[in-house]
Amino acid sequence: MKVSISTVVLTLSFVAPFCPDGAQESQTNNGTVAPASGTVTQYDSMTVINMLKLNSEDSTFIHQPDTTLDSYGDEITEELRRKIISPNLSEFDFRFILSTYHRWVDYAPNDRIRKDFASCLVLYKSTDGKSPIKTIRQDSIEIIPDNESTIVPKIQFVDINFDGYKDFVISFTENTSGNNCDNLFWIYNPAKSQFDADTTLNNLFNDLPIYIDGSNEISSGGHNANSSSTEFFRWNGTTYKLYAEESSRELDDDIGTVKIRKELVKGEWVTVSADTVK
């Protein structure tokens, strides 16, 4: 098997003196990261990198996504983040390592098909000084063929299920059109002090870009040269349910764009607004 890494992009999402979630925290003499004391001190990014270090298995996972098929690593993006998950918890340090790669799969003699994939590795640890490092690994996220070099990973922290704890979503969006996206949801589990994958939401929002505004709604949609379509999902206390959709089409320069909105009413789609064309 041949493995190559052509590009490595290291993005430190927070380095001194910037701190997105309030006062920064300081490094203690023993190399750990101590809670902030109220004064802003330098955040040492290398301390977090060394603390959330890769073991041999993690390193193999990043550089050899699949040991049974020819794999070629193309892009690796790395980010460090410190986040407040809840006001009642110590802050968390995260190390995200996101990669895209492709495989050539032999389906029959002289019949090789290229498939493109993404993978993610997340190392995280509470800054309480006693919690262990925990690891999340997700491989074989299939993306659009021949586009792995245009995939843009995005990480969002938001309280998805409104339980008072921030969760995180990793999205792999195809950048040339923005119409294709895989979204992976991890929900904070306070009983286990860890983030668990939510397969229901992963399956619900696995094709198109999503917009999360922090309310009880998530919208998902795409567009092409002259039309667009958006679906709206609302939190019902357990999960998100589709309740409305909007579509628009640009007819010509004189008429402009025509929009239609429909909503689910007692299980039936009802048009609640529509532009008219004379």
- 14 three-class SS: coil
Q: Which of 21-35, 230-244, 260-274 has the lowest mean pLDDT?
A: 21-35
Q: How far is CA 229 from CA 1, 198, 222, 245, 251, in A?
A: 42, 25, 6, 7, 15
**Residue-level pLDDT at 85:** 95
Q: What is the DSSP letter of 150?
A: G
Average pLDDT over residues 32-60: 63
**Residue-level pLDDT at 186:** 95
Question: In terms of pTM, does the model score above 0.95?
Answer: no
Answer with the residue of higher pLDDT: 185 or 112.
Answer: 185
Domain edges within the chain: 5-208, 215-278
- Whole-angstrom Cα distance, residue 274 to residue 257? 11
